[in-house]
Amino acid sequence: MDDKTLEASRKDYTSSGLTEEELAADPFTQFRQWIKQAQEAGLYEPNAMVLTTVSGDGVPSSRMVLLKGFGPDGFVFFTNYASRKGTDLEADGRCALLFPWHPLERQVRIEGTASRLDESASDSYFASRPRGAQLGAWASPQSSVVSGREVLDEEYDEVSRRFPGDVPRPPHWGGYRVVAATVEFWQGRPGRMHDRLRFRRTPEGWTVERLAP
């Protein structure tokens, strides 16, 4: 695809809109409705979300992770605490989440603060993972530079031999919960006049604001 093709590449969003009257009373009910519709539409990994963090010296970084739970207490995912995202969150818990549901012409944007789950919750989720994923959590020094693929394969094989039975959760691996300060529901509309309705947390509860597209 050349530059001219990129310049001309666009799609007019016409599938639906989003009004204040249609919006649920709280962001978690609205999110539950939308992610259910994404699942029913057959979207590939509808729980995949872009997580953006900022390092201690202010450098941003984004990557895809999988949502593993949500509710009024926050949005949950799991990772290696020593990874880039883990070290970022330990330095500054402020972060952003983005669900890019392109086939539905929708996005959900979340801004908030992440903190670690308690160890029992991380233990419980880790025990439910497939064995291969459990071994990978031990074998991969996530985000670190390695000399080649063979290093990872050798470490995976070594870990597999070390744990022939149950695999315990590594002490450097676990969950985070993002407590939302804002949750924006974005619905595409014709002429780039998209609907953007944002829940913002206040001392009195959630307030809804319409943002210009």
Q: How far apart are CA 195 and CA 40, in angstroms?
A: 22
Q: How far apart are CA 33 and CA 7, in angstroms?
A: 34
Specify the pTM.
0.93
Q: How far apart are CA 196 and CA 107, in angstroms?
A: 9
E strand or H helix that includes residue 175: strand 173-187
Percent of the residues in the chain that have a pLDDT greater than 70, as a whole number: 99
What pLDDT score does 1 carry? 67
For residue range 171-183, list pLDDT tens digits in order: 999 999 999 999 9
What pLDDT score does 8 carry? 77
Told to judge if 192 belongs to the known catalytic residues of this protein, a careful annotator would answer yes
For the record, the structure tokens of 59 come out as 């450098």
What pLDDT score does 6 carry? 66
120-129 — which CB contacts under 8 Å span 24+ positions?
121/175, 122/78, 122/169, 122/173, 122/174, 122/175, 123/169, 125/68, 125/78, 125/175, 126/78, 126/169, 126/173, 126/174, 127/169
What pLDDT score does 22 carry? 96
Of 192, 196, 198, 200, the catalytic one is: 192
For residue range 79-99, list pLDDT tens digits in order: 999 999 999 999 999 999 999
Beta-carbon contacts of residue 156 (< 8 Å; ≥ 6 apart): 135, 136, 139
What pLDDT score does 10 carry? 75
The average pLDDT across 56-60 equals 94
Mean pLDDT of the chain: 96
What pLDDT score does 38 carry? 98
For residue range 139-188, list pLDDT tens digits in order: 999 999 999 999 999 999 999 999 999 999 999 999 999 999 999 999 99
What pLDDT score does 14 carry? 80
Specify burial of residue 97 (Cβ count, 10 A radius: 0-12, 13-18, 19+). Answer: buried
Q: How far apart are CA 155 and CA 136, in angstroms?
A: 9
- Ordered by where they begin, the domains of the chain are 11-127+172-210 (2.30.110.10)
What pLDDT score does 174 carry? 98
